[in-house]
Structure 1
Amino acid sequence: MLATYPIAATDHNWISVTLLSALGLALEALQQGNAPPEFKDAISVEHRAEFARGPKFQGLYDAFVAKCQGLTPDECAQVAAALVEQNNLPAVFTSTTSCSSIRGVFPEVHEAAKELFKHAFEKLSAWKAPGSEQTIRATYHRLVDAHLSHGSCPFCGYEPLEAVDPDLVDPDLDHYLAISIYPFAGVNLRNLTAMGANCNRSYKGAQDILLDQHNQRVDCFDPYGNEQVTLSLAGTAILSDGGEGPAWAITFDPDVKSRNWRRIFELETRLRSSVLARQYKKWLQHCITYAQANGIDVSTKDGALEAVGKFKKTCAFETFPTIGLLKTSFFDLIESALNDPVGGERMHNFLVKAA
């Protein structure tokens, strides 16, 4: 994660809590050999009126219960365990914590749960947060937007998220644990993340964030935690032997824990191709323009060092911090190469040529 989300955005989680409680009561009754409660009786009194205004819930609940009635008590216990595990957030982001899916074991129950929580997910855009004139989703978006002051997707760091405006479409709200695999977490705000459309639709999709390419459990980032990845271009050869531009090397810290996230979002390829390879020549030209505007003569190596050193300080003011970090690291490498007694002249010639 290149940024994290504010935990306050998950406060209005009553749709998820209420539904999970209702399904838990139904599964408990079935395990004991009793008839499950009617939907209206399974819903807490506090939120019964809201769910009564969504008449489709009754049929979806009944469909889920009907599929579970064909299970043995032990099988119902498995479903109940999956319900709890899929909402054991953030513990499930640790590879040693169980998070079972019933998709392959009880496919009909799984499909019934998925349909129920897909419908509940739609209600985030329709039902209001308590004491507010805004919907739950709008309230969530407002809190996330205020927290992500740079306005970029935390998963790639350079795709902009739409601002809070009634005339704009809210950013995609991604199921971090995919609803197609873990439907019981389908409306849990702790499992939802505002995400750039490209990251969500072209890369993340329905991939299982908990598994690597070998279908093995791995530790992954908690979107609402405190851990963030830092980037650098250490190891990049600005003047590569091939003469076709820099040979980019992007370093991520932490490395191991970030690998699966980088794989799913194809982050290294995207940053290398869509940011670095596309932008570095413009960065060099901007540096030269900056030097000219400030009366710095880059025809001498000392002048080039002065220009790079001063221009580098402006990189932190890039709109998107990820681009600012890469840009700063790029000019760190140039500055280091200019100071190199062996390769300094070659780097100076490269920089002057960019002018």
Structure 2
Amino acid sequence: MLFTYPIAATTNNWVSSTIIEILRTALAALQSGVQPPDFHNAVPQIYKVEFQRGRKFSDLYSAFIDACRPLDPNQQELVLTALFDQNRFPEIFDASTRCPGIALILPAVHQAAQNLFAYAFEKLSDLRTPGSTETVRARYHQLVHAHIESGCCPFCGLEIIEAPDPDLVDPDLDHYLAASKYPFAGANLRNLTAMGTTCNRSYKGAQDILLDDVNQRVDCMDPYGEEHVSLSLEGTALLPGGGSGPSWVINFDPDMKSRNWRRIFKMEKRLRLNLLERQYQTWLSHCISYAAAHNIDLSEREGALEAVRKFKNTCKYETFPTVARLKTSFFELIEAALANAESADKVHNFLVEAA
């Protein structure tokens, strides 16, 4: 990910944590051979009024209990393990941390959990943290939008996420760990990420962020962590010959940990086809216009070098973070080529001809 979400946005996570604790208590009761508590009786007093606004909670909880009731102790333990492990954030992003699903071995329980937490996710747009006038989801979006760079989707850095306003459509709230496989994390704010519509609906969907393309566990980026992916074009051949444009090389750092994100969101291809190949000539045109506006003579190599150096420093002010980083890197390559005796004349002639 190009940047991350603020952990403060997950503070009001009481909807998820309350339900998880109630389910743990209920499963422990079943294991002890006693009747699990009624849902609303098990809700802490501070949240009772809000949970009562969710009319389906009690029935969905009862359906989950009914699905678990006939299980033997070992199977009930599997459910408890899944309930715990699917909410082990941030450890879950380490490939060595288990994160079992139960869809294949206990499909009825899995479906009941999916129904319960899907409803809880839906109610994030309705329930309010006690003492707040905002819904949990509205407050989440306010905190996220105030933090993320340029109000852009952190997964691509190319798409604006709608601002939190009642007259605007809420941005997509993606289940980073797919709710279809990890339903117990379905309403956990730590597992929810505001995401651009294209990234969410065209690329991420229900793909499993924890598995690679051969279904092996891999380390993956924590959307609420501190590690960001940096981009560069080092290794790109600016003038490979044959009349073609640059031969693009896109570098991601860290490399290994970002691979699954890049695969799922098709980052290399999207950046190469939608941005670099489509925009680099426009970037060159802007640099040439900048030189003309500042009376810098491109006909001399030193003038071209001056123009590129100065224009490069303006690239970081691009609205879209991904454009800013790749555009800056592109002109760093041109600057280095102009400063290199072996490549200077070729690149300088290219700029003069473009002008």
TM-score when normalising by structure 1:
0.98
Cα deviation code 1:286-343 (max 9, x no counterpart): 0000000000111221111111011001011111222111111100111111222222
What SS does structure 2 have at the residue aligned with 1:4? coil
C-alpha separation in 1, matches of 2:317 and 2:40: 54
CA shift digits 1:201-239 (9 cap, x unpaired):
111111111111111111111111111111100010111
Partner of 2:341: 341
Q: CA RMSD in A?
A: 1.1
SS at match of 2:323: helix
Could you tell me which amino acid in structure 2 is paired with residue 18 of structure 1?
T
In the TM superposition, what is the alpha-carbon distance from 1:243 to its structure 2 partner? 2.2
Residue in 1 aligned with 2:231? 231
CA contact (8 A) 1:103 1:181 kept: yes
For 1:84 and 1:44, locate their aligned partners in 2 and report how far apart those are by CA, in whole Å: 20
Cα distance in 2 between the residues matched to 1:156 and 1:311: 24
SS at match of 1:231: strand
* 1:70 pairs with 2:47: no
Aligned mates of 1:45, 1:29 — CA distance in 2: 21
What is aligned with 1:171? 171
- Greater shift in the superposed pair: 282-291 or 159-168: 159-168
Q: Could you say what secondary structure the match of 1:155 adopts?
A: coil
Match of 1:208 in 2: 208
CA–CA distance in structure 1, aligned partners of residues 340 and 161 of structure 2: 41
1:84 maps to 84
Instruction: State the partner residue of 2:127.
Output: 127
Question: Secondary structure of 2:305's partner?
Answer: helix
Check conservation: 2:114, 2:184, Cα contact below 8 A.
Answer: yes
What pairs up with 1:177-196 in 2 under 5 angstroms?
A: 177-196=177-196
Could you tell me which residue of structure 2 aligns to residue 305 of structure 1?
305
Q: Which residue of 1 aligns with 2:95?
A: 95
Query: Shift of the alpha carbon at 1:117?
Result: 0.5
Corresponding position of 2:14? 14
Cα distance in structure 2, aligned partners of 1:285 and 1:74: 68
CA contact (8 A) 2:221 2:227 kept: yes
Q: Secondary structure at the match of 1:173?
A: strand
In the other structure, the counterpart of 1:45 is: 45
Aligned residue number for residue 31 of structure 1: 31
| Structure 2 counterpart SS, 1:214 | coil
Instruction: Output the amino acid matched with 1:351.
Output: L
TM-score when normalising by structure 2: 0.98
How far residue 42 of structure 1 moved from its aligned partner, in angstroms, is 2.6
Q: For the Cα contact (< 8 Å) 1:32–1:73, is it kept in 2?
A: no
Shift of 1:149: 4.0
For residues 15-59 of structure 1, the C-alpha deviation after alignment (integer angstroms, 9 at most, x for no partner) is 001111111111111112222222222322222222222111111
Letter aligned with residue 28 of structure 1: A
| DSSP-derived class of the 1:296 partner | coil
Partner of 1:321: 321
Give the letter aligned to residue 195 of structure 2: M
Distance of aligned partners of 1:76 and 1:327 in 2 relative to their CA distance in 1, 3 Å threshold? same
Q: Which runs of 5+ in 2 are unaligned?
A: none
Residue-by-residue CA offset, 1:83-103 (whole Å, 9 max, x unaligned):
000011111111111111111
Residues 133-142 or 39-48, more deviating: 39-48
The question of whether the paired residues in 2 share the 8 Å contact of 1:33 and 1:73 is answered with: no
Contact 2:3 2:149 (8 Å CA) reproduced: no
Q: For residues 253-302 of structure 1, give each alpha carbon's deviation from its aligned partner in whole angstroms, at most 9, with x where no partner exists.
A: 11111111111111111111111111111100000000000001112211
Aligned to 1:151: 151
Q: Which residue of 2 aligns with 1:160?
A: 160
Q: Which amino acid aligns with 1:290?
A: Y
* Greater displacement, 175-184 / 332-341: 332-341
Contact 2:47/2:130, CA 8 A, preserved across alignment: no
Percent of residue pairs identical: 61
* 2:59 corresponds to: 59
Work out whether residues 79 and 102 of structure 2, in 8 Å CA contact, stay in contact via their aligned partners in 1. Answer: yes
Assess if the C-alpha contact under 8 Å between 1:129 and 1:139 holds in 2: no
Query: Secondary structure, in 3 states, of the residue corresponding to 2:37?
Result: coil
Q: Which residue identity does 1:55 align to in structure 2?
A: R
Would you say the 8 A contact 1:10–1:190 is kept in 2?
Answer: yes
SS at match of 1:150: helix
When the two structures are aligned, how many residues end up with a matched partner? 355
In 2, are the aligned partners of 1:240 and 1:247 still within 8 Å (CA)?
Answer: yes
CA offset at residue 74 of structure 1?
1.2
